[in-house]
Chains A and B, each alone.
Chain A
Amino acid sequence: MKQALTGNEAAAIAAKLARVKVISAYPITPQTAVVERLAEFVANGELDAEFIKVESEHSALSACIGAAATGTRTFTATSSQGLMLMSEMLFVASGLRLPIVMANANRSLSAPLSIWCDQQDSMAVRDSGWVQLYCENNQEVLDSVLQAYRVAEELLLPVMVCFDGFILSHTAEPVDIPGQAEVDEFLPPYKLPNPLDPCRPVTMGPVGVPECYEEFRCMLQEATRASKEKLIEVGRAFWKHFRRRYGLIERYRSNDADVLLLTMGSLGSSAKDIVDSYRKRGEKVGLVRVRSFRPFPVKELIDALGSAKAVSVLEKDVSPGSAGALFLDTAAAFINVKRAPLMLDFICGLGGRDVSSLHIREAVRAATRAAEIGEVRKAVRWLGLREKLVGLRI
C-alpha cells in the first residue's frame, strides 16, 4: 500500500511492523513525531507494546538496555543533543551486544543552538560500536528499520538508522508500506541466546580486566565486520520479499565515470539530478552513495571509486582540526591500493544550510580540474560558506 509519509512516520510505522515490544524514547526536534506516532499506535491498540516515557535520552537507551537484556525487541529514536546524552549508554549497549534498533533524525549540535540538519550527531558517535545506516529517502527509512532488526538480532549488534532531519523527517513522500504478514515472514520473533532469567543466572557486563578487555573489543570489531556480509544477505532477502534492492553502497552512473561524487543521506538524490545533467552533455560524471557507514564498505568503495580520476566527497560533518569523517575513511580505504583517485572533501550543509545544485556543480568542477592537472591543491574545502559574514578567508 502506497501512502505519503514523512521520514518520522516511516520510522514509526516500521517499528510497528517490526512488532517491537518495548519502546522507550524522549522527544527532540526533528524526531519528535516518531515518539508521538508510536504513542498513538500503543494508545489506540494498533501496537501491543510497552512505551516507557522516560525523563531523558540517557534513560531512553538505558530502559531499552534493561528490556533487551531479557530478550525483548526494543526501539528508540532520537536526534542531536539526545544522541549525545545517550552516548555513554551507546557503548554499554554495543558492549553488552544487545540488538537494539534506533532511528536517528540527523540534526546539528549546539552551540550555537540549531535544530536543523547535518550529520554531526551520528558522526560524533561513529566509534560506539553501532551499525550506522544512512537513508536517502523515506522508503529507505522504513525498509532500513526492518532490515536493521534482522542484522541486529542475527549478530547481536545495535543498529542506528539515520535520516536527515527535516529534509526527510518532515517531508512527505510516497512510501510503499508492506503488509504485516509479509513483514512477519521476513522478520520472525527472535530469541536472545542468554537472556537475564532467574532460571539460568548469567552475569552481564562485569569488570573486564586488561587480560580480556581487548578480546571483547576485538569480538565487537569482528561482529561489525561480519555485519557487512549480513547486510548484503539481509538485503537479498529483502529483495525477495519486497522487490526493493539495498546494498552497502549505491552506485549511480558510476561505472565509466571520470569524476565521482561521494556522499551519504538525502544529498544522494540531489546529486543524482546533477549527475544526470552532466551525463546529458556527455560528461562522465557519476555518484556513489554510502549507505552503511559502519561497517565501512572498504572493498566496495575501492571497486566503485578505483577507476575514477577524481572524487569529490560531499558531507555534512567535520572533525575540526582534521576533515570530514567520510573523506577520512574513504582516503584510508585506498591507503594500500596502487591506483587511487584524487580526493577532495567538501564540508557542506551544516546546521541546515541548503546545499544547492550550484554547490554540487562546484564540487564536480573542482574534481574535474583536479583530474585535468593531476593534483589536488586543497583537499578540504567548504561549500556555500558566507565568508564575509565572519571575516574568514578560506
Chain B
Amino acid sequence: MSENVKSLVDVPTEEFLLPGHAACAGCGSTLALRLTLKALGKNTIVTIPASCVSVIQGPFPLSSIAVPVLNVALPATGAVISGMEAVFRFRKEKRKIVVLGFGGDGATADIGLQTLSGAFERGHGIVYVCHDNEAYMNTGIQRSSATPFGAWTTTTPIGRYGAGKRHFKKDMPAIFAAHRIPCIATASVAYPLDLMQKLKRAQAVGGPAYVHIHCPCPPGWRFPPSQTIKLARLAVGTGMWVLYEIENGDPSTLRITVRPSKRRPVAEYLRAQGRFQHLPEREIRQIQKFVDENCERLGLEVARAR
C-alpha cells in the first residue's frame, strides 16, 4: 500500500477482519475496525477493551481478527498499550510494529479516559482509535459522555420527567489536543479513503496518535441496517460530525479534510433515527445552534442549505 490513500487503487486488498465475525448487520464499528486494520497492515497488534468488538471478534476458540489481539478490561487500554510499546522501544525492534488500541466511546471518553490521558502525556508511540457509536452498545444502549444531546438511550429514557440525554457530547479530540500529541484526526466510516489516509499518518508520526471514528449503530440509534453509510455521510453533511486533523494540538494546524459543499439542516440527520424521534422543534433548534457554533469554531464556513 502506498503512503497515500488517494483513490481505490491505493487500498490494499488484504483483509485482517475476516468473514464470519459476529457483528450486527450494518455495524459501523466493525467497518471501522476493518478499515483501520487494512490501513495499518499486518505488523499491527491490537488491544481491545470490553466493547462490542469483544463479541464481534468471536468467542474462544474462534477469532476473526488476523493480527495479534489482546483483550483487556474496559478502563485499561491506554496503559496496556503503553506497556507494550515500551517493550518494543526497549528491544529496539526493527520491524515497525503498530501498537494499536481500539476502544469504544465509553472506554475512551468515560471509564478509560484516565489511562489514555496518561499514555498520551507520556508520549508513547501508540495509535489509539475510538470507534464512536455514541453509547455503551455492548451492554445494551446506555448513555455515554459521547452520546449526543437529546438522544434516547436506555438510561436516558423518554417519560414524564425524561426526554433523552440532557447534556452535549464530550469533545474528545479537543481534550486530547490539549495533550499536544502529534496527531489527532476525526474520521467517518462513510469516508473510507479519508479514514485510511488518517491512519496512515497516525502510523507514520511515531508519537501518540488519536483517531476518532464516527460509527453509526443500527440497533442503538434505531435505523435500518441498510442506512449506515447514508447516516454517517449525513452526519458529516450536516456538520454533526466534522472531519479534520490537528498537529501537536496546535489550533492553527487544524485542517478540514472533507468539506460538504452545502451544510444540510441537522433535522435531516435527526429525523432519520429512532433515538431522536421524540425531540421537539425547540430542541432541534438548540442542537442546530450547537452544531453551527461548533462548525464556526472549527472553521467549517460553508453556507447552510435551507
Contacts and interface: CB of A to CB of B under 8 A. Distances in A.
Contacts of A302: none
B258 interface: no
Contacts of B71: 203-206
Nearest to A51: B86
B139 to A, nearest CB: 14
A209 B59 contact: yes
Contacts of A200: 68
Contact of A63 (B54, B55, B57, B83): B83
A59 B70 contact: no
Nearest to A195: B68
A88 B112 CA distance: 13
Contacts of A64: 83
Contacts of A207: 54-55, 58-60
A22 B83 CA distance: 8
A74 interface: yes
Contact of A198 (B44, B62, B65, B85): B44
Contacts, number: 153
Given A52-B122, A66-B47, A58 B76 contact: yes
When A and B form their complex, which 5 residue pairs have the shortest distance between CB atoms, in order from nearest? A66-B83, A63-B83, A59-B79, A62-B79, A55-B118
Given A198-B97, A203-B71, A206-B69, A59 B118 contact: yes
A206 B63 contact: yes
Given A59-B78, A62-B73, A198-B68, 5 more contacts: A24-B82, A55-B118, A67-B87, A202-B68, A205-B72
28 contacts: A22-B86, A24-B82, A50-B90, A52-B82, A54-B79, A58-B115, A59-B76, A59-B78, A62-B72, A65-B76, A66-B70, A66-B79, A66-B80, A68-B83, A69-B70, A69-B84, A72-B87, A196-B70, A198-B43, A198-B44, A201-B68, A203-B60, A204-B71, A206-B58, A207-B55, A208-B60, A212-B60, A212-B61
Nearest to B44: A198
Nearest to A209: B59
A50 B62 CA distance: 34
Interface of B is mostly: mixed
A62 B54 CA distance: 18
Interface of B: 42-45, 47, 54-55, 57-63, 65-73, 75-76, 78-90, 95, 97, 114-115, 117-118, 121-122
A92 B44 CA distance: 22
A65 B55 CA distance: 21
Given A198-B44, A203-B68, A204-B71, A63 B59 contact: no
Contacts of A204: 68-71
B54 A206 contact: yes
B49 to A, nearest CB: 10
A89 B76 contact: yes
Contact of A62 (B57, B60, B85, B115): B115
Given A54-B82, A56-B114, A88 B73 contact: yes
B59 A92 contact: no
B115 A21 contact: no
Interface in A354-390: none
Contacts of A202: 68-69
A50 B89 contact: yes
Contact of B82 (A21, A58, A59, A74): A59
A70 interface: yes
Contacts of A66: 47, 70, 72, 79-85, 87
A56 to B, nearest CB: 7
Contacts of A22: 83, 86-87, 90
Q: Of A21, A69, A88, A204, which is in contact with the most chain B CB atoms at under 10 Å from its CB?
A: A69
Contacts of A24: 79, 82-83, 86
Nearest to B98: A198
A196 B121 CA distance: 25
A209 B60 contact: yes
B70 A205 contact: yes
Interface string A312-335: 000000000000000000000000
A360 B118 CA distance: 47
B105 to A, nearest CB: 20
Nearest to A91: B73
Contacts of B97: 198
Given A55-B117, A55-B118, A206-B59, A63 B90 contact: no
Contacts of B73: 62, 88-89, 92
Given A198-B67, A206-B54, A55 B115 contact: yes
Nearest to B74: A88
Contacts of B67: 198, 201
Contacts of B69: 201-204, 206
A49 interface: yes
A201 B65 CA distance: 9
Contacts of B122: 52-54
Interface string A194-223: 001110111111111100100000000000
A50 B86 contact: yes
B90 A62 contact: no
A94 B122 CA distance: 27
B85 to A, nearest CB: 8
B24 to A, nearest CB: 16
A52 B95 contact: no
Contacts of B81: 66
A24 B83 CA distance: 8
A72 B55 CA distance: 28
Interface string A179-203: 0000000000000000011101111
Nearest to A72: B87
B115 A196 contact: no
Contacts of B44: 198
A356 B68 CA distance: 55
A197 B121 CA distance: 26
B82 A49 contact: no
Contact of A55 (B54, B61, B90, B114): B114
Q: Of A21, A24, A72, A200, which is in contact with the most chain B CB atoms at under 10 Å from its CB?
A: A72
Contact of B115 (A53, A56, A68, A69): A56
A56 B60 CA distance: 31
Nearest to A205: B71
Contacts of A63: 79-80, 82-83, 86
